[in-house]
Amino acid sequence: MTKTAVDAKKRRKKKGPENGVHHIGKARKELLQELAGEHGTPIFVIDHEKIRENYREFKSHLPSVQVYFAVKANSNPEIVRTLFEMGSSFDVASMPEFMIVHENIRHMPRKERQDWIWDKIIYANTIKPIETLEALDKYKPLVTFDNAEEIKKIRDHAPHAGLVLRIRVPNTGSMVELSSKFGAHPGEAVDLIMSAFDSCLEVEGLSFHVGSQCTNFENYVTALQLSSDIISEVETRTGRKIRLLDIGGGFPVKYHPEVKDFKILAKKLNTEIKRLFPKDMEIIAEPGRFLVANTCTLVAKVVGKAVRDGKTCYYINDGVYHTYSGQVFDHVNYPVLAFKEGERKISAVFGPTCDAFDTVTLSAELPELSIGDLVYSENIGAYSHASSTYFNGFPPAKVVHINK
């Protein structure tokens, strides 16, 4: 993996829209072309200062909410390290993700590391293999669950874990809905928590997820009210306190101007949390996209060119099996842009693999390009490079870091 440190004061342009579309200026374009010349293409450029800005923005609007970065959004170890240094905790959903975080805190003394993992990592995949539970048990981690079978597995293979029940909540208006696969029906929640208590397990909290890139903020309002009702009923029926609430992710990025600002959502969240929950309720969140989406840029090269049915078609050395995978799995469109100036026309852009599915776009607005010219895509940091494959023998884009 290649790492390039660049002086932030010299390289950074003026700050763009709040956690939104961050179009690059002339200096950044020159930097990207310089990096492509140095490292070849495709390259995936990660701006660590922008990650820090996003973290500070989240905390400025939700100061009482602890950040648990959703590692699956971009599992690059250097990103984990930057966020760890900022004070972030982590949401992991697999043992490889857990080990990425673990490797970045190895410098801690063993006891301190153990306490940190116990307090700062949540294993938020509701379905866990037995081998995973056995490996996690010694860390006494927080783990989520949403069904009776998972309670049995945790009881038998990770009895020292702290449990968090994930409930199903509305995902209407979210770009990627999650409620069809995860979450207990709210009507079953109290019984599941009591079943866990009966199995001598410790239920520490409740969690929900309103869906990825949520633009319908009422989803959060409904989810918070459901959570409050469930917690109140559990405490009334059992006398045991629930003092952790995980409000999940879904915090929107301004991929386009119509997306409402995060600060509007944050104000609504702060109001509802204050209204519904006691002051000693620990509130955590799992932002992924919000922290990394607009921090990364892909630079690729035109490796082929053809005219088909009157439309110019460009073939580049990255595609939907690689960094542009987010167009398939995450339902995000990443415009392909050119460094070269000139009159633009509608063109097609294809990836490098021997598969017609590997189509980046049929409607890119590009000037006339030649083989060897560079193109780039912005705001491509979430659910993109993390899903890259080696399909057809093409490796993922090389990672380059700036402003570390």
> Is 3 inside a domain boundary?
no
Q: Provide the token pair at 18.
A: 């709040």
Indicate the angle between helix axes 186-198 and 148-157, nearest 10 degrees: 30
Whether residue 21 is found in the same domain as residue 146: no
Q: Where are the alpha helices (DSSP H) in 5-142?
A: 8-11, 26-39, 48-61, 77-86, 95-103, 110-120, 130-136
Q: Which amino acid is at 378?
A: E
Q: What is the pLDDT of residues 249-273, one digit of tens each?
A: 989 888 878 778 899 999 999 999 9
Q: What is the pLDDT of residue 178?
A: 61
Does residue 389 belong to any structural domain of this protein? yes
Number of domains in the chain: 2
* Average pLDDT over all residues of the chain: 91
Q: Are residues 69 and 180 in the same domain?
A: yes
Per-residue pLDDT, 175: 62
Q: What percentage of the chain exceeds 70 in pLDDT?
A: 92
Helices 77-86 and 48-61 pack at an angle, to 10 degrees, of 40
State the pLDDT at residue 4: 43
Asked, for residue 1, whether it belongs to a domain, the answer is no
- Indicate whether 189 and 262 sit together in one domain: yes
Active site residue 354: yes
Give the domain-ending residue among 251, 271, 292. Answer: 292
Tokens for 279, please give them: 């002051």
Question: What percent of the chain has pLDDT above 90?
Answer: 78
Based on the fold, state whether residues 60 and 190 are members of the same structural domain.
yes
Specify whether 344 is located in the same domain as 398.
yes
Q: Is residue 372 part of a domain?
A: yes
In this structure, are 169 and 257 located in the same domain? yes
Residue 346 structural domain? 8-48+296-402
Output the furthest CA–CA distance in the chain (Å, rounded).
72
Residues 166 and 284 grouped into a single domain: yes
pTM across the whole model:
0.90
Q: Does 18 have pLDDT greater than 70?
A: no
CA dihedral 340, 341, 345, 351 (to 10 degrees): 10
H or E segment at 287? none
- 126 in the same domain as 258: yes
Q: Which residue is catalytic, options 200, 296, 313, 354?
A: 354
21 and 161 housed in the same domain: no
Q: What is the pLDDT of residues 28-79, one digit of tens each?
A: 999 999 999 999 999 999 999 999 999 999 999 999 999 999 999 999 999 9
Q: Are 35 and 4 in contact (CB under 8 A)?
A: yes
Question: Which one of 236, 270, 292 terminates a domain?
Answer: 292
> What was the pLDDT predicted at 14?
37
Q: How far apart are CA 95 and CA 71, in angstroms?
A: 11
Q: Are residues 219 and 159 in the same domain?
A: yes
Distance CA 312, CA 344 (A): 11
CATH number for 35: 2.40.37.10
8 A C-beta contact, residue 244 and residue 204: yes
Q: Would residue 2 count as lying in a domain?
A: no
* pLDDT (tens digit per residue) in 230-244: 999 999 999 999 999
Could you read off the pLDDT of 6-16 as tens digits, one per residue? Answer: 433 333 333 44
Which CATH number belongs to the domain containing residue 257 in this structure? 3.20.20.10
Most confident of 163-177, 258-272, 346-360: 346-360
Question: Is 347 a member of any domain?
Answer: yes
Inform me whether the pLDDT recorded for 17 exceeds 60. no
| Higher per-residue pLDDT: 214 or 154 | 154
Domain boundary among 242, 273, 292: 292
In tens, the pLDDT along 301-328 reads 999 999 999 999 999 999 999 999 999 8
| Judgement on whether residues 346 and 230 belong to the same structural domain of the protein | no
In a domain, 387, yes or no: yes
Q: How far apart are CA 49 and CA 47, in angstroms?
A: 6
Together in a domain, 43 and 151: no
Asked if 290 and 54 count as a contact pair (C-beta separation under 8 A), the reply is yes
